[in-house]
Structure 1
Amino acid sequence: MRRIALILFALLFVLPASHSPAGAEAIGVAMDDFSYTDTSAEPANQTAAHERRLQAFMAALRRDVSADGRYRLASAQDGAAFKVIGGIQKTSTLVQWAKVAVIDVGAKKLVMDKLYTFRGDNDESWERAEMFVSREVMAALSTPAPVALAVFDFELEDTTAATAGASAASDASYLAEVTAGVRDELSRSGRYRIVDVGGEAKARALRDCDGCEAAMAQKLGADQSLIGVVRRVSRTEYTLGFQVRDARTGAVLARGDSGLRLGADYSWKRGAVRLVSEKLVTSQ
């Protein structure tokens, strides 16, 4: 199984980006024959039987996928948005393992990676295994693709004129922690694919640019943009806010505001992660 897992991992970095043909509605799914390994050390040579059962397994799996009008079988070079790969290993007379993964080709991300155990080595046991794997693969294909989200650096809005300019280095460090924490939280949710914004230059604060961040996100190839603001009320109190826009239309899709004066600057990250989790991840 370790060898199969390494193959699955390596494929993430060699698959070409998907390119669906214009006007096509069905989603392309590429599916190579699974590998088969017999480490049971049984004396009888069952190679021919295993090859026949594996061929029947793959034919049934392809038939199940193509029977759903949402999908079509395709090659990785012919518009496949997903690739299904896997391997089966016989470990003893009555026990076999099946390692199956589904890869989002464009995002180069695993949307399913599971190891199954099934008992028996006859036509009936292989058919039962295929039916179960088929349901799992179809469920993975139906999972919405993660939204490409450009999360711009959080900004500081300091309303305490008396402290303006003080501890600039410390503020920058805390803001960097906030941005990194929010990106990590959104990425872990599985709903978002974080787009690298690099050193995208800002002539002015994005919170005051009347939605210009949406166009910037679109240039970066993102579906949506997110900007956030830490508002300092005093040296020990702050509030938080964020806003998400559609990168193509600029429409506001979601926003959140702490509405409370919370802690001190070292608590910015914790407060921002909680706000985004509650108002964006959990609520949608």
Structure 2
Amino acid sequence: MHRTRLILSALFFLVLPVATSPAGAEAAIGVAMDDFSYTDTSAEPANQTAAHERRLSAFMAALRRDIGADGRYRLAPSAQDGAAFKVIGGIQKTSTLVQWAKVAVIDVGAKKLVMDKLYTFRGDNDESWERAEIFVSREVMAALGTPAPVALAVFDFELEDTTAASAGASAASDASYLTEVTAGVREVLSQSGRYRIVEIGGEAAKAHALRDCNGCEASIAQKLGADQSLIGVVRRVSRTEYTLGFQVRDARTGAVLARGDSGLRMGADYSWKRGAVRLVSESLVESQ
């Protein structure tokens, strides 16, 4: 008998927040689950339909049992019956010894994929199906129990120059350094796993002086499909002194959720990126 082996190939992995009751105690999350489909493309001569139907039925019963047994979740008949998430999937037999299982979890309210993964498992017997179910159930529950990344619109950092330098004397180099600052901040936030950076384009990309628009960046971010907005400013105090600041707003309400200020720093223009990345990392990533 071949030893069962599961090989995980992640397509992408999104996650969701755990719901809480008004009193603050954790409430069970409603999870709806459709029966997985089954397809046999192995071209084996023997008809194994009955065996596959039995194993698939046992697989689904065990998956529902495992999720329902965890006090954090409750099984719901459908998304229309109060389910916060829906689990769908399918299994395909590709050869005598190889089967694929595609599993997805959907956030019903946000209409977003929480999890979309492809698994490969060897064998087509009761033992291999049971081991596959154990692995899949753990993956599904892990997806349901992890905080979701926030969709964040990070607008281009702006320069506030209070020096006596003539206007436009270093506009090209300033623009280049500001581009590096914005790219660095977007990268560190994306890599943290806490944020999903929303693409900014069109008129939003041409907007200037967002720092003086009294929170208009929040409504722009909402139109882009973001949950939150971030604007940042580099304030040049002298040719070798600068400060950095940023502000995060709720895209729907415009409320300020976080802000940070570096205080006076010494360094040439090329050090802006390093300072901004450190400030944002300490304020938005490490502090959480």
In structure 2, relative to structure 1, the CA distance for the partners of 1:130 and 1:15 (3 Å cut) is: closer
Query: How far has the Cα of 1:151 moved from its partner?
Result: 1.9
Paired with 2:254 and 2:106, the residues of 1 have a C-alpha distance of: 30
Query: How far has the Cα of 1:49 moved from its partner?
Result: 1.2
The residue matched to 1:40 in structure 2 has which SS? coil
Structure number with the bigger relative contact order (C-alpha 8 A, sep ≥ 6) is 2
Query: How far has the Cα of 1:155 moved from its partner?
Result: 0.7
In structure 2, relative to structure 1, the CA distance for the partners of 1:12 and 1:133 (3 Å cut) is: closer
Query: How far has the Cα of 1:229 moved from its partner?
Result: 0.6
Residues 152-205 of structure 1 deviation map (CA, whole Å, 9 limit, x = unaligned) = 221101121224421213322322332233223323333223334434588872
Q: Which runs of 5+ in 1 are unaligned?
A: none
Which is worse superposed, 222-231 or 236-245? 236-245
Pairwise CA RMSD of aligned residues?
Answer: 6.3
Query: How far has the Cα of 1:240 moved from its partner?
Result: 1.8
Which is worse superposed, 97-106 or 72-81? 72-81
In structure 2, relative to structure 1, the CA distance for the partners of 1:92 and 1:198 (3 Å cut) is: closer
In structure 2, relative to structure 1, the CA distance for the partners of 1:18 and 1:31 (3 Å cut) is: farther
2:55·2:126 contact (CA, 8 Å) conserved in 1?
yes
In structure 2, relative to structure 1, the CA distance for the partners of 1:31 and 1:282 (3 Å cut) is: same
In structure 2, relative to structure 1, the CA distance for the partners of 1:3 and 1:78 (3 Å cut) is: farther
In structure 2, relative to structure 1, the CA distance for the partners of 1:102 and 1:16 (3 Å cut) is: same
Query: How far has the Cα of 1:226 moved from its partner?
Result: 1.1
1:33·1:85 contact (CA, 8 Å) conserved in 2?
yes
Query: How far has the Cα of 1:266 moved from its partner?
Result: 2.9
1:195·1:222 contact (CA, 8 Å) conserved in 2?
yes
2:9·2:117 contact (CA, 8 Å) conserved in 1?
no
2:229 equivalent to 1:225:
yes
Paired with 1:199 and 1:234, the residues of 2 have a C-alpha distance of: 33
2:17·2:145 contact (CA, 8 Å) conserved in 1?
no
1:28·1:71 contact (CA, 8 Å) conserved in 2?
yes
The residue matched to 1:19 in structure 2 has which SS? coil
| Structure 2 partner of 1:91 | 94
Paired with 1:231 and 1:65, the residues of 2 have a C-alpha distance of: 52
In structure 2, relative to structure 1, the CA distance for the partners of 1:234 and 1:215 (3 Å cut) is: same
Paired with 1:231 and 1:15, the residues of 2 have a C-alpha distance of: 37
The match for 2:248 among 244, 250, 253 is 244
1:4·1:87 contact (CA, 8 Å) conserved in 2?
no
Query: How far has the Cα of 1:53 moved from its partner?
Result: 0.3
Query: How far has the Cα of 1:104 moved from its partner?
Result: 5.1
The residue matched to 1:11 in structure 2 has which SS? strand
In structure 2, relative to structure 1, the CA distance for the partners of 1:280 and 1:30 (3 Å cut) is: same
Paired with 1:15 and 1:37, the residues of 2 have a C-alpha distance of: 30
What is the aligned-residue identity percentage? 90
2:154·2:198 contact (CA, 8 Å) conserved in 1?
yes
1:18·1:80 contact (CA, 8 Å) conserved in 2?
no
Paired with 1:196 and 1:24, the residues of 2 have a C-alpha distance of: 36
Query: How far has the Cα of 1:137 moved from its partner?
Result: 0.1
Which is worse superposed, 150-159 or 36-45? 36-45
Q: Which runs of 5+ in 2 are unaligned?
A: none
Paired with 1:5 and 1:253, the residues of 2 have a C-alpha distance of: 46
Paired with 1:252 and 1:260, the residues of 2 have a C-alpha distance of: 23
In structure 2, relative to structure 1, the CA distance for the partners of 1:18 and 1:256 (3 Å cut) is: closer
Residues 62-106 of structure 1 deviation map (CA, whole Å, 9 limit, x = unaligned) = 454466687677878999865544454668877766454445578
2:68·2:75 contact (CA, 8 Å) conserved in 1?
yes
Query: How far has the Cα of 1:255 moved from its partner?
Result: 1.9
2:272 equivalent to 1:257:
no
Which is worse superposed, 223-232 or 201-210? 201-210
Query: How far has the Cα of 1:45 moved from its partner?
Result: 5.0
Which is worse superposed, 14-23 or 254-263? 14-23
Residues 192-233 of structure 1 deviation map (CA, whole Å, 9 limit, x = unaligned) = 233344345888723234434334434544332211011223
Which is worse superposed, 28-37 or 154-163? 28-37
